[in-house]
Amino acid sequence: MMPDQATTIYLDHREADCAHTTVQSYQYRLAKFEDWWGERSISELTKQDVHEFKQHLRKQGLAKPTLKSHIDTFRGFLRYMTRLDVVDEGLVDVADSPTLRGKENVRDDEVTADVAHAILERLDRYEFASRSHALILLLWRTSMRTGAVRSLDLDDYNSGEQYLTVEHRPERGTTLKNQNEGERMIALSDETCRVLDEYITEKRCEVTDEHGRDPLLTTKAGRISRNTVRGWCYRLTRPCWHSDECPHNRDTDECKAACNDNYSYECPSSVAAHAFRRGSITHFLRNEMPETVVSDRANVSTDVLDQHYDRRTEREKMEQRRDHLDNI
């Protein structure tokens, strides 16, 4: 059985008990195994191969939580292939993933303000009001999750009063992580509206989705997919794209991640959409936006915000609190 056949069988199996978005994340992670294993039958997998694949993942510089999720997915895949007698028993035992303790369980991939502004500046100059420009601007300025950005319809954007309405519509194909509790209105700046207005007028594909809705962010096939959002974010966060420099001392004429957009995820510096959310929230907090305001805008509790999103150091927090002493 070839790798793509095996992963398809496994993903079909997981569709029965997992959310579609979860299965998509499994598909993305297992794609790395498919690329690494190549055109060999997976029945040839040995314990040494499993060990070497784990080492291959570690060398990519993934954060520990990300590495763990990749190995956990691979382990589940091997377990099911063992049940089908496709691979030898015992491979699962080698696919043990790292144990995370304390702060290690918090992902640290983040798009910093400097990087976000560099990306937006380049988009503003060379790809003004493109789909990617509208997407990145929304991710950075609103701190929304990918699912919320995808769920937006054309009618959810009020240009005149400069705000977005975010709604949970499971019966019509889009959901929010916190369901009805995630519904809210988000104020927009003049600049954000300027880009969105131009995008809608000049660049947006005039299509409807399978539910007859008019998505705000579209491709020729309809509403943008999570994989499309993920791919755009990986491509645009490569340093060689937004700064013409490589901090990893690679030759950009030969680097696969730089030469081929489909391999942009292999750049150690490229990150997925959620890193924009984490960086955006931290940026707002560093610029004195009250935690309660950030919490409401981003639809995240203050406890979760503090543990998983706020990347300020303890000293930064102290100095910001110091600024308020004169007012007491």
Name the CATH superfamily for 3-105.
Answer: Tyrosine recombinase, N-terminal domain (1.10.150.130)
CA angle 281, 286, 290 (to 5 degrees): 75
Which residue bears the tokens 């060689």? Answer: 240
Please tell me the predicted confidence (pLDDT) of residue 62. Answer: 78
The CATH architecture one would assign to domain 113-225 is Orthogonal Bundle (1.10)
What are the start and end residues of each CATH 1.10.150.130 domain in the chain? Answer: 3-105
Q: Count of residues for the chain? A: 328
Please tell me the predicted confidence (pLDDT) of residue 107. Answer: 47
Please tell me the predicted confidence (pLDDT) of residue 108. Answer: 56
- 219 three-state secondary structure: strand
Please tell me the predicted confidence (pLDDT) of residue 24. Answer: 80
Whether the CB-CB separation of 45 and 91 falls below 8 Å is answered with yes
pLDDT beneath 70, residues of the chain:
19, 21, 100-108, 308, 311, 320-328
Please tell me the predicted confidence (pLDDT) of residue 227. Answer: 83
Closest C-alpha to 308, from 85, 171, 110, 117: 110
Euclidean distance between the first and final Cα of the chain, in Å?
A: 70
What is the rounded distance in angstroms from the CA atom of residue 34 to the CA atom of residue 326?
A: 60
CB-neighbour burial class of residue 292 (10 A; exposed 0-12, middle 13-18, buried 19+)? exposed
Burial 96-130 (b: 16+ CB within 10 A, else e): ebeeeeeeeeebebbbebebbebbbebbeeeeebb
Please tell me the predicted confidence (pLDDT) of residue 135. Answer: 97
Q: Give the H or E element holding residue 124.
A: helix 113-126
What is the rounded distance in angstroms from the CA atom of residue 88 to the CA atom of residue 77?
A: 13
Q: What is the pTM of this model?
A: 0.67
Please tell me the predicted confidence (pLDDT) of residue 269. Answer: 86
